[in-house]
């Protein structure tokens, strides 16, 4: 049990925000952290994927990367823009597509051995959620005007006290959205890596033991393989959820009724 406790403590330390050299951050210290480093890698990978996949665009793509890129863009355009917002939503494809692919590549990079997802820290997910919050409210204000957009929070056709209560609930809902959007993404990615790490600890301890325990190590290794596949699915679905909620919020700002 003592070794398990030490392993879990080391795992949580490895998953915490540290300097690139592995040292704990001091109060007020500004440095490149481990999560920032992998976030930058994911940004570069996303940019390279988009640029390479879109260069020399042909009617019929001849490269596998071009075909994959086209499939991804069509998925975002049809499932995240057109289906949620109608044809009007296609104009927001660049923003929603950037959000989807950036979150997706951050999640997937975190599944590589020795890598961490940029989305595995609240600092990243909160920043992205606030960006989405500013963008969709800005879209609403641009279309309806500041007064018209704020007026949409006040429901029509009901008594003033009830309308005020509903308006208060709507404002609170708007303010809470960045928190729920960021916590959902962070919690799923962080928890998944904790679970994978715990089963790795179990497998390593069993392999160090003797006799039947070495054979029993097959069980946590098999469970870890299943969980890894599940984490791959979660990485994709969380990128989809983050992007589709972004589309839903933009649609709500466009059609305030």
Using one digit for the tens of pLDDT, what is the confidence trace for 12-23? 667 777 777 667
With 70 as the cut, is the pLDDT of residue 106 above it? yes
How far apart CA 66 and CA 53 sit, in angstroms, is: 4
- The pLDDT assigned to 31 comes to 75
Q: What is the mean pLDDT of residues 78-98?
A: 87
Q: What percent of the chain has pLDDT over 90?
A: 21
Q: What is the largest CA-CA distance in the chain?
A: 76
- The pLDDT assigned to 250 comes to 92
Helix (H) or strand (E) holding 33: none
Average pLDDT, rounded, for the chain: 82
Helices (runs of H) and strands (runs of E) counted in the chain? 10, 0
Kindly give, in sequence order, each residue whose CB lies less than 8 Å from that of residue 128, ignoring residues fewer than 6 positions away. 99, 102, 103, 181, 182, 185, 242
Predicted confidence (pLDDT) per residue in 135-178, tens digit:
999 999 998 888 888 888 878 777 878 888 888 888 888 889 99
Domain that holds residue 159: 2-254
Q: What is the mean pLDDT of residues 115-135?
A: 89
Between 203 and 94, the more confident residue is 94
**Which stretches of 68-147 are assigned E, i.e. beta strand?**
none
Predicted confidence (pLDDT) per residue in 206-218, tens digit:
777 666 766 777 7
Give me the number of domains the chain comprises.
1
């Amino acid at each position: 049990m003592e070794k398990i406790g030490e392993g879990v403590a080391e795992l949580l330390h490895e998953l915490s925000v540290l300097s690139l050299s592995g040292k704990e951050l001091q109060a007020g210290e500004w440095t490149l952290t481990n999560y920032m480093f992998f976030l930058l890698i994911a940004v570069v990978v996303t940019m390279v994927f988009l640029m390479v996949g879109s260069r020399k665009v042909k009617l019929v793509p001849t490269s596998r990367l071009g075909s994959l890129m086209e499939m991804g863009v069509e998925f975002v355009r049809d499932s995240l823009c057109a289906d949620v917002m109608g044809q009007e939503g296609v104009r927001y494809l660049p923003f929603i597509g950037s959000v989807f692919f950036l979150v997706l590549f951050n999640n997937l990079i975190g599944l590589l051995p020795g890598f961490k997802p940029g989305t595995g820290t609240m600092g990243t997910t909160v920043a992205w959620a606030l960006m989405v919050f500013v963008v969709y409210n800005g879209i609403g204000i641009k279309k309806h005007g500041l007064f018209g957009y704020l007026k949409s929070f006040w429901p029509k056709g009901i008594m003033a006290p009830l309308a005020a209560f509903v308006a208060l609930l709507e404002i609170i809902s708007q303010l809470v959205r960045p928190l729920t959007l960021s916590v959902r993404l962070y919690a799923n990615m962080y928890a998944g890596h904790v679970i994978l790490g715990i089963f790795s600890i179990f497998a390593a301890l069993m392999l160090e033991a003797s006799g039947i325990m070495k054979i029993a190590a097959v069980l946590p290794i098999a469970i870890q393989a299943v969980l890894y596949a599940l984490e791959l699915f979660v990485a994709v679905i969380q990128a989809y959820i983050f992007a589709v909620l972004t589309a839903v919020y933009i649609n709500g700002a466009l059609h305030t009724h």
